[in-house]
Structure 1
Amino acid sequence: MSDATLDTTPPRDLPVRDEPKTVAFRGGGFAPRPHRWVGALVFAVLILIAEWGTRAGWISALTLPKPSDVLATFGELYQSGLLFKHLGPSLSRFAVGSFFGVSVGIAVGVLIGLFSYVRAGAVPLVAALFPIPKIALLPLFVIWFGIGEGSKYALIAFGTFTPTVVATYGAVDNVDRTLIRMGQSFGLSWWSIVRKIVLPGAMPGILSGLRISLAIAIILLVAAEMLGAEYGIGAYILQAGSLYDLERLFAGVVILSVLGVLVSAVIGVIERRVLGWRT
């Protein structure tokens, strides 16, 4: 066979293969991306609109004070020492009442989720207590615990207890039963299944319920301090409202808003530490 018949040149009409294209990763599972500057930008824009509107006159000074005047009020509160005189008792009442309400609520919610007899007895009771407006029970707590700190602690604890119970046993119920059966098939003990499967699986729901419970605690804190408290953010807001001092009133409202943001940020840190396995 001659060399002329060994032509290995590919035909010209064959298509040329394209280079492989990189496909973006689509397995993120709708995981939220952190954009912390967006929240700060929203607050800044709202404050600038309020400042411009009050200075321009199309927002009445009787309706909304200037943010700059509210900031000046903060400076006066800080310099006079009244800020910490009011903030200290409020933080103490919030911390103590929320601790007891949340801790007992999580414990009861886990027991309801794990034991059928506890569920049968406690769920109807929680369902009866949950829709009761907790603020309406404040006079009753004053009769039981007095006008001092005990009634305030009890109101906040009771207000955070019921939503925490509901969120906790709902989170336990939503744990994937396939994982529990898998643990049983591998011979894990009851306590190991609860500690390694049930509690980690229920933690996202528990922390989500904790956000709601602590927001309710702030509301009840203000209500409790408006009745028979000399110092506290609620007492400060009540005094400012009775004098129609909008700058002081809005300063108290901003303090409560900042407290809510800080509580939410703390829960977010806990979620990133505890729930890192979800990523």
Structure 2
Amino acid sequence: MEKQRQIITNRVAFLEKRIPVYASVLGLAGILILWEIITSLNIIPPLFLPAPSAILIAGWGMIVSGELHENLFASLYRIVIGYSIGATFGIIIGLIVGFSKWADAIVTPIIYSIYPIPKIALLPLFILWLGIGELSKVTIISLGVFFPVVINTFSGVKNVDQMLIKAAVTFGSNHINVIRKVILPGALPMIFAGLKLAAGTSLLLLVSAEMIAAQKGIGSMVLHYGNLMITTKLMVGVLVLSLLGLIFNRGLQWLEHKLIPWS
């Protein structure tokens, strides 16, 4: 009996054991070293896959010249504004639809009928309506962010325990307090799931919009150097996009941990 208890304890300790941070760093370093070896042995021509060292040299040159800053700031401006607008409206409308049966009956069919449309296909129409400037690109990003956030938000509201809502109403809470103290905390895990999904979608739409209708931005830069077959600078843009995605994801994870530590 004691032996079985010890085995169970060891298994639980193994499952709860945290993986050290350096494990992820070692994995990434291993990939970079292997990549450098493959390119240095010319197994893959540098035109198709430049070495990490060559990409770093090209990236440093773009930083010194100011080219990378200019394109990065243009992209950050678009994605921050577009993401903020889409996420804000998505959360507000998702809460209303989840809380109100009338709003659910009216709005939900509209959302599900528009959601399957590839958002980038609407960019030419937005350019026609809003012009080729920043407004059309910010709008397409906002629209792409809106749908995963609104769908996850009202799904989260629907999944809140109805007994908790009835208990709050029974004890005299008004609609605002019910939403603020019961529904919103209960829906937060689903809301953050939508925000994380929307972060990836926003990057995809940003790059697509910049490739189609922008003179500045990471997407425009990647397309430009792809046309010129300068793959080192092209890969700088790809790595910057990868870092942006990582930063957004980690930032949302940190915010989720702060707001809903019980999740």
Q: TM-score, normalised by structure 1?
A: 0.86
Distance 1:98 1:31 in 2: 35
Distance 1:119 1:81 in 2: 49
Distance 2:225 2:61 in 1: 14
2:156·2:188 contact (CA, 8 Å) conserved in 1? yes
Distance 2:112 2:211 in 1: 28
State the match for 1:131 in structure 2.
116
From the superposition, tell whether residues 161 and 34 of structure 1 become closer, same or farther in structure 2 (CA, over 3 Å). farther
Match of residue 224, structure 2, among 224, 239, 244: 239
The sequence identity of aligned pairs, in percent, is 36
State the match for 1:150 in structure 2.
135
After superposition, the CA RMSD in angstroms is: 2.2
* Partner SS for 2:262: helix
- Structure 1: segments with no counterpart, 5+ residues: 1-17
Task: Quote the offset at 1:236 in angstroms.
Answer: 0.4
Task: Quote the offset at 1:27 in angstroms.
Answer: 9.1
Distance 2:165 2:10 in 1: 31
Task: Quote the offset at 1:33 in angstroms.
Answer: 4.2
How many residues get paired? 258
Alignment of 1:88-107 (within 5 A): 88-107=73-92
State the match for 1:68 in structure 2.
53
Q: Which amino acid aligns with 1:256?
A: L
* Partner SS for 2:212: coil
Q: Deviations over 1:132-169 (max 9, x none)?
A: 01111111110011011111111111111111111111
Alignment of 1:31-180 (within 5 A): 33=18, 35-180=20-165
Task: Quote the offset at 1:191 in angstroms.
Answer: 2.2
* Partner SS for 1:277: coil
Distance 1:201 1:36 in 2: 31
Instruction: Kindly name which structure, 1 or 2, has the bigger radius of gyration based on alpha carbons.
Output: 1
State the match for 2:193 in structure 1.
208
From the superposition, tell whether residues 263 and 144 of structure 1 become closer, same or farther in structure 2 (CA, over 3 Å). same
2:218·2:237 contact (CA, 8 Å) conserved in 1? yes
* Partner SS for 1:154: helix
- Structure 2: segments with no counterpart, 5+ residues: none
Distance 2:224 2:48 in 1: 18
From the superposition, tell whether residues 157 and 32 of structure 1 become closer, same or farther in structure 2 (CA, over 3 Å). farther
* Partner SS for 2:220: helix
State the match for 1:198 in structure 2.
183
Distance 1:229 1:97 in 2: 15
Q: Between Structure 1 and Structure 2, which shows a larger proportion of helix residues? A: 2
